[in-house]
Amino acid sequence: MLGMALEGSVHDAVALRLAGADQRYTAQRRVLVEILGRTGRPIMISEILEAASGLTQSSVYRNIAVLIDVGVVERIAGTDDYGRFELAETFAGHHHHLVCEKCGTIEDFHASTKLERALGETARLAAAEQGYVVNEHRLDLRGLCLNCAAS
């Protein structure tokens, strides 16, 4: 689903989430969901504005906040001061992140089934040692992207 136009069922699910919070699925919110869905990685507000030239910065911030509140969008923290945004896993599928410590780029990666099982079991064991029960897990691997490693 990522990196391409979103299916109508995704838009229907987003509309239902918003309606449950007495919010409308406006044209601007639809544009934001489309951009986040086709990008396939967490992106900054400036990148959203480049992709949607008709939206203002204040409108993007306002609408992103609403989409975060209803669980459609998640804010991903990087190594710099800029938040990045992506569709929540409910809409984008389960994945993890590679984070560049130099330029701040964040890329999605999907673990193999075998690795995902191992990560899930490791998370459950670590949490159990502290008396927690794990409902989900996320993994951010930090290092250097190809561009920064080459420079």
Joined tokens for residue 147: 């561009």
Residues 69 and 112 in one domain: no
Given this model, what pLDDT does residue 6 score?
Answer: 66
Segment 6-22 shows an average pLDDT of: 90
pLDDT band of 8, cuts 50, 70, 90: confident
Q: What is the pTM of this model?
A: 0.85
pLDDT at position 85 over 50: yes
Q: List the CATH number of the domain containing 112.
A: 3.30.1490.190
| Pair (5, 23) in one structural domain | yes
41 and 107 inside one domain: no
Question: In this structure, what CATH number is given to the domain that contains residue 39?
Answer: 1.10.10.10
User: What pLDDT was estimated at residue 41?
Assistant: 92
Overall number of domains in the chain: 2
On whether both 6 and 75 belong to a single domain, the answer is yes
Domain boundary among 52, 67, 93: 93
Dihedral sign of CA atoms 34, 35, 36, 38 in order: positive
Its domain, for residue 36, covers: 1-93
E strands within 38-137? 73-76, 84-87, 96-100, 106-109
Containing 87, the helix (H) or strand (E) segment is: strand 84-87
Residues 24 and 73 in one domain: yes
User: Do 75 and 113 belong to one domain?
Assistant: no
Q: Which tens digits make up the pLDDT trace of 54-71?
A: 899 999 999 999 999 999
pLDDT in tens, 104-141: 999 999 999 999 999 999 999 999 999 999 988 889 99
Residue labelled with tokens 């990148």: 47
